[in-house]
Homo-oligomer: A and B are copies of this chain.
Amino acid sequence: MSVTAPQGFEAAGVAAGLKSTGKPDVAVVVNRGPRKVGAAVFTSNRAKANPILWSQQVVADRVVEAVVLNSGGANCFTGEFGFQTTHQTAEKAAELLGISAGDVVVCSTGLIGVGDETFRANVLAGVEAGIAALSADGGQSAAEAIMTTDSVSKTAVVQGDGWTIGGMAKGAGMLAPGLATMLVVITTDADLEASEADALLRRATGVTFDRLDSDGCMSTNDQVTLLANGASGVRPDLDEFAAALTALSQELAQKLQGDAEGASHDITIEVRGAASEDDAVEVGRSVARNNLFKAAIFGNDPNWGRVLAAIGTTRADFDPYNVDVFMNGVRVCTAGGPDRPREEVDLTPRATHLVIDLLVGEATATILTNDLTHDYVHENSAYAS
């Protein structure tokens, strides 16, 4: 049910000719109210796509009534024409829905530099078809229409005490901090104030999507949008809601990790014993971005030396000669030297658990990443062809 699981939302996914395969490529999600609260977080990349530039303006007043998403073209670095395409997309949706264009968020994903007149015509036709197809159980079709190299659609639903949160996500590469070619729409019928929605979304994304770092590459197009309409009539307990929103975000983040381009291992990097959470994040990310470590995991090689070499590049508070490293439960390094024999580590399962204990404090953080594989290289060298 994805984004249409909560009351008062409609969605649809349609094929508009943007994908050469003829698969669905335009999705529309509409909030039927009564409230039209919207919040969003955007890529921190300074090279932002046109839909990001547009949507940042839309959410400034924290009112969002509809989200239009397209795959098959990022509409990024397509010049003034490209920005006008995004603007026209919002205008078209607004006109058909009888709302203001200033309340329509637009998201695009696909190749950078793609956004010509054909693209524009297809997107606008897709908006029309998508709005005509809107339905209270259109969540699944919307989730399918935003897929690019994703092999499966990603949705999640969490039930609260009288309210529901639903979400859909796409993304299978360029996943990195500050989000990355990741488009996520989350809906809820809980009754939230705009400021609450914004704070809750930032809190949840900060420890979930922001800690997914599949390949260290930050996208130009990422956004995570939360729509809240209060249709349940229930004011949630904010801590309960925060926990539910975080759980749903983590579930979607794990689905993105599990479908990362070409990956053969889902690596959970758990950093413990750090002096601060920032230190723990920096250490986890340094390992998540180390190509030599990632290639070793692909080869089922418990190469803890590469873990320490990566940690050594950080400014975190730790003693390089007093760190414990566990791989899938086996302590392979302690006190600046080898511990258990590497033969004891079984790296054949897809789920890989790396624990780094810095032994200096109490703070922890977990980063999700993937291995570096032949297929990753292949898919990303062939992506444009």
Contacts and interface: CB of A to CB of B under 8 A. Distances in A.
Interface string A281-307: 000000001111001101101011110
Nearest to A337: B79
Interface residues of A, number: 62
A308 B79 contact: no
Given A217-B290, A291-B291, A377 B373 contact: yes
B74 A313 contact: no
A377 B383 contact: no
Contact of A337 (B78, B217, B306): B78
Given A79-B337, A313-B46, A377-B377, A217 B299 contact: no
A283 B7 CA distance: 47
Given A82-B337, A291-B217, A309-B45, A377 B372 contact: yes
A187 B308 CA distance: 32
25 contacts: A46-B313, A46-B320, A47-B312, A47-B320, A74-B305, A78-B337, A78-B338, A81-B337, A112-B304, A112-B306, A112-B308, A112-B309, A113-B304, A113-B305, A215-B291, A215-B292, A216-B291, A217-B309, A220-B312, A291-B380, A298-B381, A299-B381, A301-B385, A372-B377, A374-B374
The quantity of this chain's copies bound in the complex is: 2
A174 B77 CA distance: 33
A305 B77 contact: yes
A53 to B, nearest CB: 10
Given A295-B377, A295-B380, A374-B378, 6 more contacts: A47-B320, A112-B306, A113-B305, A174-B309, A298-B377, A303-B384
A301 B112 contact: no
Nearest to A173: B292
A358 to B, nearest CB: 12
A219 interface: yes
Nearest to A217: B292
B111 A295 contact: no
A311 interface: yes
A328 B336 CA distance: 46
Contacts of A336: 77, 79
A305 B46 contact: no
Nearest to A74: B305
Nearest to A116: B338
Query: When A and B form their complex, which 5 residue pairs have the shortest distance between CB atoms, in order from nearest?
Result: A112-B305, A299-B381, A47-B312, A79-B337, A295-B380
Interface string A9-48: 0000000000000000000000000000000000011111
Given A113-B305, A298-B377, A335 B47 contact: no
Interface in A44-89: 44-48, 74, 76-79, 81-82
A133 to B, nearest CB: 31
A308 B220 contact: yes
A218 interface: yes
